[in-house]
Amino acid sequence: MQLARLDGMMEGLVRRQQHAIRDKEVGYESWAYMPVTFLVLYELNSNSEIGEIESAVTTEVQKEDPLRISRYPMAEETKCSALIKLTHDDLIVSHNTWTTYTEMLRVYKSFSFPHVQHSSIRSRQLSMSSYPGYFSSTDDWLIVRGWRVPSILA
């Protein structure tokens, strides 16, 4: 399914570039000739798992780094935190992503799946933060319509 999505994204990107070149859209020279391959899109969408896979298959022993930013190794390995507070009449949920300024270009995506029909499906709409070109969120939560709190994907 992921490969079919990537095929569709690649096809859409190529068509969009062709239309921009044909119509000579303002600023098209800066991006319409950019060589984007299927492999680039695949790597982009695998980005959130690559680190976990690498640490699981790496046998090399990590040396103690004297320039380590934190004396708490887990703080360097995680990228977000959440706060969940129960009050007398509400549940408050917040999320914070710890990344560099280079990752500030984020988008909010909403999906609707009206064609999905099954008795176990409670909602056909979901929303999440993400990045341009990604299918999923690299954060561990989604907002699902009809649910009172975000769904944690940890």
Q: Which of 51-55, 69-73, 100-104, 116-120 is modeled with the greatest confidence?
A: 116-120
67-71 contacts: CB < 8 A, separation 24 or more? none
In a domain, 140, yes or no: yes
Residues 21 and 85 in one domain: no
In a domain, 66, yes or no: no
Please check the confidence at residue 68 and state whether its pLDDT lies above 60: no
Measured CA angle at 133 (ends 147, 135), to 5 deg: 35
Residues 41 and 77 in one domain: no
- H/E segment holding residue 109: strand 107-112
Which residue in 117, 116, 108 sits closest to 141, CA to CA? 108
Residues 48 and 121 in one domain: no
Residues 56 and 97 in one domain: no
Please check the confidence at residue 69 and state whether its pLDDT lies above 80: no
Q: Does the pTM exceed 0.85?
A: no
Range of the domain at 95: 72-154
Measured CA angle at 19 (ends 13, 21), to 5 deg: 105
The 10s digit of each residue's pLDDT in 3-33 is 888 888 888 888 888 888 888 877 767 766 7
Residues 88 and 131 in one domain: yes
16 CB-contact burial (10 Å; exposed 0-12 / middle 13-18 / buried 19+): middle
Return the number of other C-beta atoms located less than 10 Å from residue 42's C-beta.
13
In a domain, 67, yes or no: no
In the prediction, which pLDDT does 60 show?
64
The mean pLDDT of 57-86, rounded to a whole number, is 65
Residues 84 and 50 in one domain: no
